Amino acid sequence: MSSESAGTSGQGRTATLSRRSDRFLAGLEEYRGATLVSHVHPDPDSLGSMVGLAYLIEQCVGIPVQITQDGPICRAENRAMVETLDLSLTPIEKVKWKPDQAVVMVDSQPKTGRHSFNGEAKIYGVIDHHQTPGELDGVPFLDIRDGIGATCSLITRYFTEQEIGIPEHVATCLYYGIETELSGYPREASALDDTALQLLYPIVDRDAIAKIKNAPLPEVFYETLLQALQSSFIYDKLLLSWINELANPELCSQCVEFLIRHEGIKWAMCAGIHEDRMVLSVRTSLHRAQAGEILRAVVQKMGGRAGGHDRRAGGFIPLASTSPSAIEQVQSEFRRRMLKCLAIEETRGRRLVSRGEMLRNLG
């Protein structure tokens, strides 16, 4: 992976096309419009990247840009982002794919199983920061930097390079995208992420950010959290939590972010059933742990897909049957593989909350 030198912004717009943003924008000149796609259940980094890129393309190339939404947005904060910042999103199934429209994929890579877009049109560019590799053959423009905390930071850098001012609305989207990606400890931030945050902070609508961060949570969140706590098992430094029925697939990540805070735990995983899939979400508090690659290795042998970053990962395993015994079988195979991968001895797990305690609390 090539690294970018720090001092490129002073070259002005007449410089040769050595900067990524120059090459990205130059390649778009031959198109009549652009369609931006991202991963399923787009998160703030996906949404922010698309909003930022759309504005940049419209300003620099002057072609119309549509931002797509792949699947439902479930997480309360993410829904609040869409509503508060009034984002205009086209459902991906409504897109009419045409060869004169450039397709740009952000915060995701082709054929990773994390989006519905599956080769309906040729992809012009991929801008991403995930470790999970995609099929990139024949894609004219690539900017993939897995050492960067957020795709929004890469887009912010494009603005700096092009010397384009960032309006409040766009800055707020980019800032929130970066901030959510860097939340948790250890921070997965590079110098480029922190430079972007500093540049954006004076421009952002801070009231809007506060409103989004404190979005009202649906009642089902608390029921799910209770279930996750009641079925959490500890194996050395790993906590595994099983949820039966997920009202929406993003509840897993919300629970696991709470569970990883446990003082004795270095790895936490929450799995729940949504439709015909076991949805998985993993967090670790270890540096450079390659959680995305570990989860991918574990679920690949079970027919599933996964990806992510050093500290955070997500994925799913398809279920042939959702009968309790079939689910239990998948759970035990996943547990066995995960313990092996983390070199933890397979023993009976210790319950986070004992049965006796649960019964007493019901009293």
Footprint of Mn ion on this chain (CB under 5 A)? 45, 107, 151
Determine the residue with CB nearest Mn ion. Answer: 45
φ/ψ of residue 84, rounded to 5 = -65, -40
Strand-strand pairing, 277-284 and 267-274: antiparallel
Give least dist CB 106 to Mn ion, A.
9
Is 107 or 161 the residue whose CB approaches Mn ion more closely? Answer: 107
**CA separation, residue 104 to residues 10, 89, 119, 140 (Å):** 27, 15, 12, 11
Is 225 or 280 the residue whose CB approaches Mn ion more closely? Answer: 280
Q: Which own/partner pairs from 197-202 qualify as long-range (CB within 8 Å, at least 24 positions apart)? A: 199/156, 199/160, 199/166, 200/156, 200/166, 200/171, 200/174, 200/175, 201/175
Give least dist CB 194 to Mn ion, A.
16
Residues 6 or more apart whose CB falls under 8 angstroms from that of 175 comprise 48, 152, 197, 200, 201, 204, 209
Separation of CA 294 from chain center: 16
Is 107 or 310 the residue whose CB approaches Mn ion more closely? Answer: 107
Is 272 or 308 the residue whose CB approaches Mn ion more closely? Answer: 308
Is 22 or 179 the residue whose CB approaches Mn ion more closely? Answer: 179
Give least dist CB 234 to Mn ion, A.
30
Give least dist CB 154 to Mn ion, A.
10
Burial of 132 (0-12, 13-18, 19+ CB in 10 A): buried
Give least dist CB 83 to Mn ion, A.
21
